[in-house]
Amino acid sequence: MHCQRCGAALQETIVDGRARLSCPSCGYIQYVNPVPGVGVLVEHEGKLALIRRGHAPHKGDWALPAGFIEADESVEQAAVRETREETHLDVELIELFGVYSFPEGPPRSGLIIFYRARPTNPAALQAGDDAVDARFFAPHELPVIAFRTHREVLARWLQERHEPELAEATVGHPPPEVTVRAAEPRDHYRIVELMSHMPARTRMSDIARARAFARLRESGPGAIEVWVAESEEYRQASGWTAIIGFVAVAHLDGLNETRAWLDAMVVEPDYRRRGVGGALFDIATRRARERGASQLLLDITRASPSAQEFYRAIGFDGGDVSRIRLR
Ligand SMILES: [Zn+2]
């Protein structure tokens, strides 16, 4: 790299406590700062306009209309311009929604200033610029979203529209390091606490809690088997327990074949969509196979919409009692 002022070769030096390239000849210091961009939540009749990306990165995925701010325009002008270029919609900005950073790239560090807006010509929606498609999506129809910042913005937008399940499904997180082990008596309190996150159990009665504790005391090989997933990250965050989820499997020995019943699987809300359910599901199927079960059954109607989506994604068929073949 050469100095953009005098052309001398730049050298790495420590400036303000960081390694930066600087010029030994004229003293120029090459600061690297985030690039500012703008993104727009275009709302129309409860739906949001998204564009399908025609180029890398994330070609084929959907995103909010967004782009970089030109040097000769204001943030607001950039928001209106980018929306028009990518969707053919003319918008009126409603409010500033938030500022989101992406120090990780791609490829350079940046930040995006997001606005809510309404279109004055909603019927004009059409892919423009380098987008290959543009559509309005209802909250429950949202597709895979390309960028972390856009996912976080959408998750917050959905939260504010009282769609916590959808919000959770929208935000992608890296999987935490998880260890799975058989549940022990000291885990029972935490397991019952996690049960309150099941949709059918949000107001768990004292009787239901007592029953759950009784069943857990009887648990073990030969009866209902329970495993827990632990994360050190969560132990530090919670200050008392590392358990972020559990799975309970009952084995039904029939005259002709053994079936396994996936009785309950719960993951701490902050850790959903991060592979914890997959790790618990793996141990459930492995144990069911070891016990000679030919099928794993599940009452899918008791699961939340996002859990139902998870179960279908890992291979459970449709129907109220859903099953997966083990061999
Ligand atoms: Zn120089």
- Cα gap 178→198, rounded to integer Å: 21
Banded pLDDT at 273 (limits 50, 70, 90): low
In the chain, the percentage of residues whose pLDDT exceeds 70 is 90
Range of the domain at 42: 35-170
My answer on whether 154 and 208 are in the same domain is no
- Cα gap 149→256, rounded to integer Å: 53
Q: Residue 231: exposed, middle, or buried by beta-carbon count in 10 A (0-12, 13-18, 19+)?
A: buried
Which of 80-84, 152-156, 197-201, 212-216 shows the lowest mean pLDDT across its residues? 197-201
Average pLDDT over residues 282-290: 86
How many Å lie between the centroid of ligand 1 and the Cα of residue 282? 59
The whole-number pLDDT of residue 254 equals 80
> How many structural domains comprise the chain?
3
How many Å lie between the centroid of ligand 1 and the Cα of residue 6? 4
- Amino acid identity of residue 124, one-letter, is A
Average pLDDT over residues 24-38: 91
My answer on whether 165 and 241 are in the same domain is no
118-135 pLDDT per residue, tens: 999 999 999 998 889 999
The whole-number pLDDT of residue 6 equals 94
Distance (Å) of CA 235 to CA 146, 189, 281: 31, 15, 22
Banded pLDDT at 247 (limits 50, 70, 90): very high
My answer on whether 131 and 259 are in the same domain is no
How many Å lie between the centroid of ligand 1 and the Cα of residue 238? 52
Final residue before a domain boundary, out of 170, 197, 223: 170
- Cα gap 109→92, rounded to integer Å: 29
My answer on whether 184 and 319 are in the same domain is yes
My answer on whether 44 and 145 are in the same domain is yes
The whole-number pLDDT of residue 202 equals 56
The whole-number pLDDT of residue 291 equals 84
How many Å lie between the centroid of ligand 1 and the Cα of residue 156? 46
Final residue before a domain boundary, out of 153, 170, 187: 170
The whole-number pLDDT of residue 106 equals 57
How many Å lie between the centroid of ligand 1 and the Cα of residue 74? 31
2 versus 57: which is more confidently predicted? 2
My answer on whether 91 and 189 are in the same domain is no
| Cα angle value 73/77/81 (rounded, 5°) | 110
The whole-number pLDDT of residue 146 equals 80
The whole-number pLDDT of residue 327 equals 66
The whole-number pLDDT of residue 300 equals 76
CATH number at residue 308: 3.40.630.30
In the chain, the percentage of residues whose pLDDT exceeds 90 is 38
- Would you say the pTM of this structure is higher than 0.95? no
Ion ligand 1 — residues with CB under 5 Å?
Answer: 3, 5-6, 8, 23, 25-26, 28
How many Å lie between the centroid of ligand 1 and the Cα of residue 22? 8
The whole-number pLDDT of residue 303 equals 74
